[in-house]
Structure 1
Amino acid sequence: MADDNLDDLIELNSENDDLSEAFTRAADHLQKIATKIDNATLLSLYAYYKQATNGPCTSSRPGLFDLKAKSKWDAWKKLENMAKEEAKTLYVKKVCALDPQFSSATVPTQTKNNWVCISTLQQTEVIDETAKTVVDHVVEGNTDKLENILKTMSKDSINKLDDSGLGLIHWAADRGSLDTLRLLISLEADINLEDCEKQTALHYASSCGHYNCVHFLLENGADMNKKDINGLEPLSVAADKDIEEILNKFNFI
């Protein structure tokens, strides 16, 4: 797939919001580095792109002998009803992870090593209270409602990754919600839970500059030596000197 023409990955709709601009730049940048990327990763990016621009896959599956087209279709179809904004977010995040040199002021909430705070990229939309999921309550930091919901959930459910590959603890750390982190840990959330890219809550809190969350996670046993799929530890993605200092402090305790 690395040899394929990537036109279908860079024909973008013109939108003005920050996420769409970051998405556009990420797709443009991908064309420059595509030959250095493995087929599986390109296939994943293709799926996110199609979901972000076209929505869920509704076309018929290609014929048995068109293996390349069938692989693309399968990757896209697997995303099912993922929201376009979520697909754009994951696309930008993956391109940033692939090439640390990719950076621009147009990429919102960009931190050291070009990490992107996921929840700040989510477009804000009004969701009916009855339609909100547990993730919505975590992102909003609504601990009163969260506590009632979480107490009905099993430990496995609390630590389950969602369709975007994140656990509740990742969303809380990304959002900088200290009260939500406290609640999750009190209900046996795994403090070192890895997302789909082997990133922990400490990676998220560190990269997003949430000092109090970093301190809390470290005090409660977060492993600061955990590496993600790119070999980066929380210290490697620290947003600023204050985060670096506290991580270094705990490293010597």
Structure 2
Amino acid sequence: MEIETSIEAAFNEAASLVESSASNNKGTHLDDKLMLQLYGLYKVATVGECKDQQPTLYSGIFNMKARWKWSAWKEFSSLSKHDAMVKYIEVVKESFGWEPNSNHHAQQRPPSSSNVFMMGNSVSSFAIPSPEEDVDEESDPVFAWAKDGDLIKLRGWLENNVSKINSIADSNGLKPLHWASDRGHLSTCQLLLKFGANPHVVDNDGMTPLEYAETCDHAEIVALLRGNTL
């Protein structure tokens, strides 16, 4: 079926354009909402209906990002694979000012699904890194101590490295206060604030410790941080 082959080839070309834009830092004009829309359509077009269970809310910021991507996939699950491909092509045309190659008789190699929507800083913020990969515990044990709520080791580190409290960050820009807020360690947050942790610091996605605490529904930490951001 030449028409179906043409649609699939155009879809692969469009997905490759999105992947290329992300890897070459050309996608900064695309906002998060649009990238999630493209993600949802891509998943339906390549996998089909979303049958995965919704990620839980209370496992931290990384699961929050997983929920956003799950919701985007679920939103378009009523579409057939064909209709999702057509819609995806339309969105890419409108967003990139792109037109598919007229010669689609040769099937193009589809882009890697793991790369098309990594959505790092150049395009968006919805990559879902593993927390264990984010924290280099050997070189920066302070992140592990903040993550685990180890007050004794953290206090010892703070007493000798207090000047670093607002500058040290992991690969995603998370400061110790981000980790403590994400994991719900109230006493750890209090200790960090006592030593001068700035509640206004942001990670690579522009999120503050307060936003982490709000996302994870850590009410006491939300109240603490709000009191320190007035």
**TM (normalized to structure 2)?**
0.47
Say which structure, 1 or 2, has more relative contact order (CA 8 Å, 6+ apart).
Answer: 2
